[in-house]
Amino acid sequence: MIALLQRVTRAEVEVAGETIGRTGPGLMVLLGVEPNDDEQKAQRLVERLMTYRVFSDDQERMNLSLVDIAGGLLLVPQFTLAADTRKGRRPSFAKAAPPALAEKMFDCAVAMARDYPVNVETGRFGADMQVSLCNDGPVTFWLQV
């Protein structure tokens, strides 16, 4: 599984002009699924997202996690993260999980995230989404398990 996480002051996702997910300070995470991903990998990724220290402490050092600050989490499915862009001018999606597996793993990650004491909002799998955010820092990390 792949996560592109961004520390945000705010983020939201819209489908057909309707806001379906929104968060204040916290993380906006684009989540990609690969063919060999399973519940164990989803659990490991969610643990990392919740405990990854990307928020500043009193000394302005990145020592606090999403759980530590009781921030919000906006999870958005993003199959293009698994694209192979090494050759040519068009990405290959051969390394992306088939839609049924990707949706299952996305839903699994969302359910696991909701076990933590943070507010979890989501995008909609398979939808044409418009995502807006204010990246705080900017702070952006690529996590892969």
CATH number of the structural domain spanning residue 118 = 3.50.80.10
**How far is 84 from 89, CA to CA, in rounded Å?**
11
Q: What is residue 108's predicted lDDT score, i.e. its pLDDT?
A: 98
Q: Kindly state whether residue 144 falls inside one of the protein's structural domains.
A: no
Decide if 99 is inside a domain.
Answer: yes
User: What does DSSP say about strands 119-122 and 72-77: parallel, antiparallel, or unpaired?
Assistant: parallel
pLDDT in tens, 103-121: 999 999 999 999 999 999 9
**Number of domains into which the chain is organized:** 1
Q: Note the pLDDT tens digit of each residue in 123-134.
A: 999 999 999 999
Q: Is residue 145 part of a domain?
A: no
Question: Residue 101: pLDDT band by 50, 70, 90 thresholds?
Answer: very high
DSSP assigned state of 105: H
Residue 142 lies in a domain: no
Residue 8: inside a domain: yes
Is residue 137 domain-resident? no
- Asked whether residue 134 is domain-assigned, the answer is no
The residue range of the domain holding 104 is 2-129
Catalytic residues: 78-80
Inside any domain, residue 34: yes
Q: pLDDT for 27-58, tens place per residue?
A: 999 999 999 999 999 999 999 999 999 999 99
pLDDT in tens, 81-99: 999 999 999 999 989 999 9
Q: With a threshold of 0.85, does the pTM exceed it?
A: yes
| Nearest-angstrom CA–CA distance, 58 and 32 | 33
Percentage of residues of the chain with pLDDT beyond 70: 100
Cβ neighbours around 63 below 10 Å, total: 13
